[in-house]
Amino acid sequence: MNIEKLMQGVSAGDRRALAQAITLVESSRADHRVMATALLDGLRPLQRQALRIGLSGTPGVGKSTFIEAFGCMLTAAGLRVAVLAVDPSSTRSGGSILGDKTRMDLLSRDPNAFIRPSPSQTHLGGVARRTREAVGLCEGAGFDIVLIETVGVGQSETVVAQISDLFVLLLAPAGGDELQGVKRGIMEIADLVLINKADGDLVAPATRACADYAGALRLMRKREQDPDGFPKAMLVSALTQVGLAAAWDEMTALSDWRRKVGHFAHHRAVQARYWFEQEVRQGLLEGLQRSEVRSAMAQAGCAVERGDLTPESAAQGILKTLLDRGPAQD
């Protein structure tokens, strides 16, 4: 693989080169990792920056329809839109969300759009790293908007929120008791709550749900980085395309404000530090997978099972060989 040529393709905005580059960052092969790092480092001096929008919603809420309609609206306005998926559950299905591009037929054929399904990954840490690097590639390829979609299984919303500049929660038109069903944590990280399917018979329940969510959001502590009125609940219909332009206006208003008060850059700095600390933790635990450590662990584990060693003293022995090797050699 010619990294120089790939870099040229990506920076020229070529979608095939971008797809190839993302495949490269998804690989865990050591030589691929070296190339991926070189590629990302080579793109950084371009200093291209997209607006990163995290989008979460439970299955059935109409995420694909929303992304199709919202994405086409943005490309029609001259913006280039990339869509990435974070789906830790795709380990089994091989990419259950966005796996089928035909669900976004118009957007996937749009030359100003790029859609990438979630890869099969064994753990959330791997998905997070790959997604951050894929976002970097999309920015290097000159995309204006990167939509990062998640179904919100387990911790994936937290991952997406820590990658995004804005976090949008898409909800079904049901309020009252249903409000309880929404995880408290996700309401707290949402900048914008969009109640979808506000069309036909569902206008009335969607309006009630919107009022309920707006009330719930008002009860939450106002965040200092936000202008008045945020986080906000709004009605949209991906089907009839009602409310999409208004939702986009709110997103740009919020990100413009955050740029003005300096929060936008600060937020990215905090995210970078978070990922640094996560990478260290994950790297430490991955150290346990090295073959010599695994065999030492297996041996000590057997002694613990036999009762020859307590769990604590066996663990101390392993930690000693892992961490306390005397002064650094390099």
| Residue ranges binding a copy of itself (CB under 8 A) | 37, 40-41, 44, 129, 132, 269-270, 272-273, 275-281, 283-285, 287-288, 297, 300-301, 304-307, 309-316, 318-330
Indicate the residue among 253 and 309 with the shorter CB distance to a copy of itself. Answer: 309
Q: Provide the sign of the torsion angle of the four alpha carbons 158, 162, 163, 165, taken in this order.
A: positive
102 or 289: CB nearest a copy of itself:
289
What is the spatial distance between Cα 290 and Cα 124, in angstroms, rounded to a whole number? 20
Rounded Cα distance, 172 and 209, in Å: 8
What is the sign, positive or negative, of the torsion defined by CA atoms of 178, 197, 113, 258?
A: negative
SS3 212: helix
The Cα–Cα gap between 85 and 115 comes to: 9
In DSSP terms, 195 is beta-bridged to: 171, 235
Nearer to a copy of itself, 229 or 274 (CB): 274
**Nearest-approach distance from CB 141 to a copy of itself, in angstroms:** 18
- Closest to a copy of itself by CB, 49 vs 240, is 49
Which residue has 């791997």 as its token pair? Answer: 126
> Shortest approach of a copy of itself to residue 64 CB, angstroms?
29
Smallest distance, a copy of itself to C-beta of residue 62, A = 26
Q: Which is nearer to a copy of itself, 246 or 284 (CB)?
A: 284
Q: CB 101: neighbour CB atoms within 10 A? A: 15
Question: How far apart are CB 255 and a copy of itself at their closest, in Å?
Answer: 19
Separation between Cα atoms, residue 234 and residue 26, nearest integer Å? 36
In the complex, minimum distance from the CB of residue 196 to a copy of itself, in angstroms, rounded to a whole number: 26
